Chain A
């Protein structure tokens, strides 16, 4: 396998390793990282695989440096990523903001474990979902995907790179300990069958080029360091030339575009898998590992004759607001299982807008949500209706 970036074949592989192989297949050639359970296996495999594929792996002194190195590598023209878990994700937040402000394509895989703080290092949680959305200061939009299997760790890591390159921002892969450490069949396709997106290059001469002048879709072509274009990269509020301008008009212009480039393209970004929504009276919405519990609960409920549908959020941010708004008025309830005390359910509630009740099936972390807990919630809602 030496030197082969796309390891076409069928494997029994864990999610962390599949993430690594997805990154390599997407063209990632730089990893700056710091090991942390349960994401260590990503860094470990990267440290072996990247040099084989002509890439560079650097173990940095901490997570602050890791994400900084990743941003630098990206501006150097290389697809770059890091991986971490809760404590490291917290440390990365400031420079994630820098990546968002400077519109730097890169991928951060967070293999979530239970928190707060050091929490349960070896045990599962989905507690960083709002941190992914709002963890860095200021206002911006993000893209986050949530895999529920090793195969999706592979597929979604490729998609994360593609989205980061297309929309010029750090993209999150919000995995969890079980998905990271779970072994399952992973099929790696042939290289020519893998869709790869690359950052848009300037189409004007170096004399005309402004590094933050956006095309009509809100995305600015990117010149890498050394391409011969003049660039300026700063976390200060900047104009189209990339130079700091300390006034509210520039702040509005810059921030507005950071938000619009994602919001206006949300229909192309958002990915859900929908099951039985046509006849559903109750819809379970789930992401990541909990989507597997939810899907099993849906099957069990339908076997009992309850009209349950299921929405699997492959992208968690941006949230599929329109889909939920259009569904809610005709539903008995929306149900969301998540391994936290209720995070994405707040967004679900907001989008339902009071048109139907929203139930949370919560687990505080350390174990998976059993399908029977979700089935109980479904049955409760179902019975509630019969009474009325």
Chain B
């Protein structure tokens, strides 16, 4: 019930990027494959494409009552507007994740963990920018560990159209590997710093 047991995640972008779908997959992974509770709510405007939208996910080991996310612990930004509008809501000690090419950031709060990935560019290289959300999910799974990576991968493959499964699996793995490489790199840096 308390915020400590819950993880609040806000995914922001614009209509057509699969922002709501990303939230849906994250919640599905937690609920169906990871034995937790999750709630996903969404915000969008009257326009179907291009307008600002967000999905809010709460993952919890207990019951989730109030379903809105006002002060996320994890903020994922896939558009400049999503960043500008929501960056102030990220909690101290939170995690800030963004698409390198789509968001220009100012100096982040010193208490935040920060990660970025050119998710849309990677998706384009894999043949379809529409998979940027899946690349991002793989990345989030690797760097933030909200749910088990296998659970999230299963949820991705269950949620995408059957004929796109292979490509989406590649997209997910690409994001995941990139995230793991970043973590390794940072670990190494810390190691060398410790040795120095």
A183 to chain B minimum Cβ distance, whole angstroms, is 4
Q: Are B1 and A296 in contact (CB under 8 A)?
A: yes
Closest chain B residue, CB of each to CB of A120:
B46
Partner of B41, one of A182, A296, A371: A182
Q: Residues of B with Cβ closer than 8 Å to A?
A: 1, 23-24, 27-28, 31-32, 37-46, 64-68, 70
- Say whether B41 contacts A178, CB under 8 Å: yes
Question: Smallest Cβ distance from A302 to chain B, in angstroms?
Answer: 11
Taking the closest CB of chain B, its distance from the CB of A150, in whole angstroms, is 9
Q: Which residue of B lies closest to A123 (CB)?
A: B43
Q: Is A49 an interface residue (CB 8 A)?
A: no
Interface of A is mostly: mixed
Cβ contact within 8 Å between A371 and B45: no
Partner of B66, one of A12, A37, A296: A296
Closest approach, in angstroms, between the C-beta of B132 and any C-beta of chain A? 21
Are A181 and B1 interface neighbours, CB within 8 A?
A: no
A293 to B39, CA, bound (A): 14
- The residues of A with any CB-CB pair to B shorter than 8 Å are 10-12, 37, 121-122, 178, 181-185, 289, 292-293, 295-296, 299, 367-368, 370-371
A178-B31 contact in complex given A121-B46, A122-B46, A185-B37, C-beta closer than 8 Å: no
Given A122-B46, A184-B39, A185-B31; A178-B67 close (CB under 8 Å): yes
Query: By the criterion CB–CB under 8 Å, are A10 and B32 in contact?
Result: yes
Contact A368 B31, beta carbon cutoff 8 Å: no
CB distance from A123 to the nearest CB of B (A): 8
* A321 CA / B4 CA spacing, docked (Å): 39
Residues of B within 8 A of A37 (CB): 46
The chain A residue sitting closest to B155, CB to CB, is A12
Top 10 nearest A-B pairs by Cβ distance?
A12-B28, A296-B65, A183-B40, A12-B31, A292-B65, A185-B31, A296-B66, A182-B41, A184-B39, A371-B66
- Docked-complex contact A293 and B66, CB < 8 angstroms: yes
Q: Are A292 and B66 in contact (CB under 8 A)?
A: yes
CB of B31 within 8 A of CB of A184, answer yes
Residues of chain A with a CB closer than 8 A to B67's CB: 178, 182, 289, 292, 368
Known: A183-B27, A184-B38, A368-B68. A12 touches B46 (CB 8 A): no
With A182-B39, A299-B1 already in contact, the answer to whether A122 and B32 are too (CB < 8 A) is no
Q: How far is the CB of A258 from chain B (nearest CB, A)?
A: 38
